[in-house]
Structure 1
Amino acid sequence: MITIGRKDKVDLPEFDLIGIDAKIDTGAYGSALHCHHTIIEKENGEEILSFQILDPDHPEYEDKVFRTKHFDRKTVKSSNGDMEERFTIQTEIFLFGEKQEIEFSLTDRRKMKNPILLGRTFLSGKYLVDVQLKNLSHKKRKTTL
């Protein structure tokens, strides 16, 4: 297994996002991605999920609207313990030099320090968390580029 710290920087190639801060959280079951303006639109009888990633004050924010018909809805327990329905998407994440599949629930994380949370479902069997460390993937990437 690969050692990962309490925080790291990840890339989301599908959304052209590079070096985005992620919190590693073994207390969270799933992974979450900060989104806003999340709405369902109908197009030719199909539901299309439309959303924006990051906040306008984030340095990587580009005011892009992303659209997908490949989404689901799940009931998840939020950080404050409430059950809520969220949209989920599958995408690729680039971490430690590898692209991997990940499922994100889309939620408003603007009050959180990190726009991405990586939970146990993603971490399990692949990563050992050392809470004294951070940005291990990002540091390794700089030395190998």
Structure 2
Amino acid sequence: MRAKIDSGARSSALHVDAQWRFSEGGAPWVGFRLSPGAVGAGAVECLVPVHDERMVTDSGGNRGARVFVRTGLRLAGVEREIEINLADRRGMRFPMLLGRTAMARVFTVDPARSFLHGKAGPNSAAPAAPYSDIPTP
């Protein structure tokens, strides 16, 4: 999934088309639907425990409560668990925003470059090439 790397954002956000809350065994859960691929590729539904609910300020300065979940992130051959909030990012260029807490102590951002580890495609599950193997434009 394409993501905007945003070191100015504290938290990460994922666009969901719909979300709903429910309880499972007395604990809060959230269900959500997202379309991770190309237009018309189909939607995916997920059911996960709610990790937290916090106030978030968006880029327009608007504050609102958002649900946070824990999920796995695989980026540049590195896998780690991150927390991400579920948001309506309709109209945004990227369905996912990767904030600085998800990148902390693992990644360095080069704002002058893009797609350093390749673009997502049909074989995107394959390990990415190390930074040193990617030519400078």
The Cα shift of 1:131 comes to: 1.6
Q: Is the 8 A contact 1:75 1:83 kept in 2?
A: yes
Instruction: Provide the residue aligned with 1:54 in structure 2.
Output: 35
The structure with the greater share of residues assigned to strand is 1
Identity of aligned residues (%): 31
Report the counterpart of residue 12 of structure 2 in structure 1: 31
> Paired residue for 1:141?
128
RMSD: 2.6
Shift, 1:59, TM fit: 4.0
* Structure ranking higher on relative contact order (CA contacts 8 Å, 6+ apart): 1
- Pick from 58, 65, 75 the counterpart of residue 45 of structure 2: 65
Gaps of 5+ in 1: 1-19
1:1-145 alignment to 2 at 5 Å? 20-43=1-24, 45-54=26-35, 58-59=38-39, 61-138=41-118, 141=128
Distance between the aligned counterparts of 2:27 and 2:41, measured in 1?
28
Aligned-partner Cα distance in 1 for 2:40–2:114: 20
2:72 & 2:118 partners in 1: Cα distance?
17
TM-score, structure 2 as length reference: 0.77
| Count of residues in Structure 1 that have an aligned counterpart in Structure 2 | 124
Partner Cα separation in structure 1 for residue 38 and residue 53 of structure 2: 27
Displacement of 1:81 in angstroms is: 0.8
Superposed CA offset, 1:42-99 (max 9, x none): 44544331101237x8348532211112432111111111111000011111111121
Distance in 1, matches of 2:27 and 2:102, equals 29
Uncovered stretches (5+) of structure 2, i.e. residues with no partner: 120-126
TM-superposition CA deviations, 1:118-139 (whole Å, max 9, x none): 1111223322211221111236
One-letter identity of the residue aligned with 2:30: L
Q: Identify, as 1 or 2, the structure richer in helix.
A: 1
